[in-house]
Structure 1
């Protein structure tokens, strides 16, 4: 599949006319039509309904459009990042993390250290799926990943057989919360009736999904839950909770302000809470000098040496950085 086909498709969706779209793409209409047909053949489905005026999308086209835009956006961001890294030189540390960890632990604990050490960071706060973080580290698309860790998560398991190590920066509680009502939380896991609790959960691409499932599954008398929404991002889950659509699990650091203001309340007993580690991972085969410096500085900050990703142990924790 060629990128220009996706741009053609996007232009056709906007113009709803082959002639105008071909003119926008600076190509003859016959050539433009051939490229749209080539895209449809690649996808294996008709994307454009040519029987309507103006042109419209088929059901398959409606599904394909947001994905095509995502591919184009990712492609453009990747080009920009590659050019930035190339211009900055090989000493730039390429850093990947999620939005929630960027807003909490990265900005609070790592960014000041980076500034103090005069290190150059290429930060990618991203909505990648959990497995993409691992492949990015293994393929050297990034040098360091900052991620949550919990025994129920298995997306980091490939690093256990690779030459990788991690530092545990701290911990965060993963707690069920609900919007506050007149008499307490609007929804509660211990409400004790037979009515299903509306759950705002995470999609399968999120590392936090397995922790939510684990938290509910390990209770012998877990309440019935009805998943009313799924999102890849904890920030999106929090927004839905604040609107009162249901309860959901959030890292405490991400919602501590709303809890202190009374906008959110804990919506379950302690047995439903889980503890997350905040881990920083690197590949030991990456010998970039600036990465070694950052790692030494982080070791000094945590008072711990790096741990092999495949090491056995009880996962005992250092004092929190909070």
Structure 2
């Protein structure tokens, strides 16, 4: 598929007329019509209802319009990122991490080293699925990934089998928490509750979902849970907890302020808490000098934190 076809489609939607859209796109009308038809053939559906005046979209066309805008935005963002990296040179270190880790451990552990060392970082704080982080590293889309790690995270297993190095930068606690009310937490893990406990969990794309499921499997006689919402991001789970919709598991660093000021409360004992490692992964064969320098600094920081 030619990316120009998406721009043609957007022009036709805006103009609702083949002639005016062709003029906007600076091509002849026959050529423009052929490109729109090629787009429809590519997807095997009719996108434009040609029987109406002005032209309208078919139901499939309505869906495609929303998705085409996402595709164009992704294309433009990718193009911009590639141009920035190319202009900056080969020494830029490309990081990928989740939003929650960017807001916590990246800022506290890595950002100061980057600043002191004068390193150039291209940071991609993303909502990728766990396996996308793995493939991004394997395909050299990024040089380093910063990720949570727990033995239950099967999606990250290929990194252990592959040609990767890792550093355990630090640890975090994964805790069941609830919004705190005037009379205590709004939701608890007491097994004598008559009604199922409302659980705010993670979607299938999140590596943290497997840790929640692991935590619950360890408690055979634990309370009945009802999943009322699933989110891909820990930030979103936190927001739902703060709205009082249920309890959920969060990395302690992500909610330490709310725990300290009493807006949140840990609602399970030690048996419900689990340790998360904060790991950096890189491809062993990536010989970028700036990456090697950062890796040595990260190893020194890791050793210092465990002494």
Instruction: Give the TM-score normalised by the residue count of structure 2.
Output: 0.88
Other-structure match for 2:306? 318
**Contact conserved, 1:168 with 1:318, CA < 8 A, in 2?**
no
**Secondary structure at the residue paired with 1:249?**
strand
Q: How large is the RMSD of aligned CA atoms in angstroms?
A: 2.6
**1-structure distance, mates of 2:54, 2:190:** 54
1:147 aligns with 2:147: yes
After superposing the two structures, state which structure 1 stretch, 160-169 or 32-41, moved more: 32-41
Other-structure match for 1:90? 90
Matches within 5 A, 1:223-242: 223-242=223-242
**Secondary structure at the residue paired with 2:154?**
coil
**1-structure distance, mates of 2:11, 2:187:** 45
**2-structure distance, mates of 1:34, 1:96:** 40
**2-structure distance, mates of 1:129, 1:65:** 25
**2-structure distance, mates of 1:223, 1:15:** 58
Structure 1: runs of 5+ lacking an equivalent: 305-316
**Contact conserved, 1:190 with 1:269, CA < 8 A, in 2?**
no
1:296 aligns with 2:290: no
1:6 aligns with 2:3: no
Structure exhibiting the larger radius of gyration computed from Cα positions:
2
Following superposition, the deviation at residue 33 of structure 1 comes to 4.4
Instruction: Give the TM-score normalised by the residue count of structure 1.
Output: 0.84
Other-structure match for 1:201? 201
**1-structure distance, mates of 2:106, 2:128:** 17
Structure 2: runs of 5+ lacking an equivalent: none
**Secondary structure at the residue paired with 2:159?**
helix
How many pairs are equivalent? Answer: 307
Q: 1:67 to 1:174 in 2, by over 3 A?
A: farther
**2-structure distance, mates of 1:176, 1:21:** 55
Following superposition, the deviation at residue 251 of structure 1 comes to 0.9
Following superposition, the deviation at residue 78 of structure 1 comes to 1.4
Q: Deviations over 1:261-284 (max 9, x none)?
A: 222222333322221100001111
Other-structure match for 1:122? 122
Other-structure match for 1:276? 276
Matches within 5 A, 1:130-279: 130-190=130-190, 192-279=192-279
**2-structure distance, mates of 1:281, 1:229:** 31
Other-structure match for 1:105? 105
Higher helix share: 2
